[in-house]
Structure 1
Amino acid sequence: MIGAELTIQLVVLRLFAGLIIVAVQGATIAAAAVLLGDKGPRYDGRLTLLPLAHLDLLGLVSIMVSGLGWSKPVAIETARLRFGRWGLVIAALAGSVALLVAGYLILLLIIPLLTLLPYTAGLTGAAFVRVAARLCVWMALFSLLPVPPLAGAHLLAAIGIRLPAWVGIVIGIGLLAASAFGITRMLLTPAYEVVAPLVLGLELAG
C-alpha cells in the first residue's frame, strides 16, 4: 500500500524479493504443466528459475509499490494435460504451494545471516528475508484470485472461461491501483492471518 511506510529501502527489498517470487511461481507452474503432459512451457522457455523468463513489468511494479503483483502468465494447453481441466487447477495451486514453501525456507536464512555477516549487512539481509517471506505468503494467496493476469486465471480456464489478452492488461492496471490503495490486501487479510502463522510463525506473520 502507498503511504508513509513506503520507503526507498522497502521498494528495493520488494524488487529483489519479487524477482525471486516470480521465478519460483512461474517455474513451478511450468514444471507442473510439463509433468502433467503439456510440453509447451518447456519450449516457451518457462522451465527455468531465471527471473527474466517469468517477468511481467506491470506485475513487478505492483509488487514494488504494494507488495502484491504477478508473474508472466504461463500458457498451458488444456487438451494436452493428463487430467484435462483439473490439470489447470493443479498447476495454479502448485505455484502457490511453492511460494508458501519458499517463504518457510527463506526464513531459515535469518540466523545464518545475522551470525555470519558483519553487523550492518546481517541486519539488511535479515530485513530482506522477512520482507521476502511475508511477500511469498501474500503472493501465494493473491495469485489464486481467478482473474487474469494472475495465475488464478487458470481456474477460470478450468471451467471454460478464457479472456482475451487485452482484458488481462486492463485488469492488471486495476489490480495495481487496488493494491496500491490497500484494497486487495484488506480483502486478503483474513486468509493471510490464517495461513501466515502456519508458514512463518506467530512472531513474523504480522
Structure 2
Amino acid sequence: MINPNIFLMVIPFLVAVVFHEVSHGYVAYKLGDNTAKFAGRLTLNPVAHIDIFGTIVLPAILIIAHSPILFGWAKPVPVNFFNLKKPKRDSAIVAAAGPTTNILLAVLFAIIYRISLFLPASFIQQPLMITCLYGVQLNLIFAFFNLIPILPLDGGRILAAFLPPKWAYNFSKLEPYGIYIVIALLFLGIFDFIFTFFVLPLSSILLS
C-alpha cells in the first residue's frame, strides 16, 4: 500500500525544482542573458518546466515503489553563458542561484512549520506540518546534490569558474560523461551521504 504522506511531497517537490530552474534563468537575465526569458522559462507555472521523465515518470515510479522520498528534476533552463557581462564570474553566480534558492526555500518552509505548531489542532495542521517537513528536506537535498562539483551540476559550473583557464578547459571536457559519474555516485550511496551529513543536521537546526 502506498504511503499517503508521499503525496504531501508533491507540492514541495514542484516548488523545489521550479524555483531552482527559474532562479537560474532570472539571475542570468539580470546579468545580460535573455535566453530563458525568450524561451518563456521565467515563469513559476510548473507546466513550462516539466521534464517528462524527471518531473513525471521518475517521481511516479518512486511513489509506486514506496520510496520514502521523491526525487527528480525539471527541464533545465537554457542559459547562453557568452551573453553574460562577465562570463567566467557570472556563470558561477548563475549556477549558485539554484542551490541558494533551495536553501532559502528550506528556511521558508521551516518558518511555516514553526508557525503551524501554534495553530489549533485540526485536520489542516498535521498535513501542513508534514508538507513543510518535506519542504525543508527536499530543498536541502536539491541544494547539496546540485553542489556536487561535477559537470553539468551547479557545483561543477561553480568549480569551473574558479579554475585556471587550462584546468577549466580540461575539466569541461568531462561534462559529456558527468551524468554517468552522477549515476555511479547514486549507486554508491551519495544520497545517503548527503542526507546523513547535511540534510539531517540542518533540518534539525531549522526545525528544532
Q: Same fold judged by TM-score > 0.5?
A: yes
Percentage of matched positions with identical amino acids: 25
Mapped to 2, the partners of 1:155 and 1:58 lie a distance apart of: 26
Q: Determine the structure 1 residue equivalent to 2:189.
A: 183
Aligned-residue offset at 1:44:
1.4
CA contact (8 A) 1:144 1:150 kept: yes
Q: Determine the structure 1 residue equivalent to 2:26.
A: 31
Greater Cα radius of gyration, structure 1 or 2: 2
Paired amino acid for 1:59:
G
Paired amino acid for 2:6:
V
Mapped to 1, the partners of 2:26 and 2:136 lie a distance apart of: 22
**Structure 2 counterparts to residues 118-129 of structure 1, below 5 A:** 119-129=122-132
Mapped to 2, the partners of 1:143 and 1:51 lie a distance apart of: 20
Paired amino acid for 1:32:
V
Query: What stretches of structure 1 of length at least 5 have no aligned partner?
Result: 1-5
Q: Determine the structure 2 residue equivalent to 1:3.
A: none
Q: Which moved more, 1:115-124 or 1:102-111?
A: 115-124
Give 3-state SS (helix, strand or coil) of 1:135's partner: helix
Determine whether 1:15 maps to 2:21.
Answer: no
Paired amino acid for 1:80:
N
**Structure 2 counterparts to residues 15-94 of structure 1, below 5 A:** 15-60=10-55, 61=58, 65=67, 66-94=69-97
Q: Determine the structure 1 residue equivalent to 2:165.
A: none
Mapped to 1, the partners of 2:149 and 2:53 lie a distance apart of: 18
CA contact (8 A) 1:148 1:171 kept: no
Mapped to 2, the partners of 1:149 and 1:157 lie a distance apart of: 10
Count of equivalent residues: 190
Mapped to 2, the partners of 1:98 and 1:137 lie a distance apart of: 10
After superposition, the Cα gap between the structure-2 partners of 1:136 and 1:38, relative to the gap in structure 1 and judged at 3 Å, is same
* TM-score between both structures, scaled by the size of structure 1: 0.74
Paired amino acid for 2:31:
L
Query: What stretches of structure 2 of length at least 5 have no aligned partner?
Result: 162-167
CA contact (8 A) 1:146 1:154 kept: yes
Q: Determine the structure 2 residue equivalent to 1:104.
A: 107
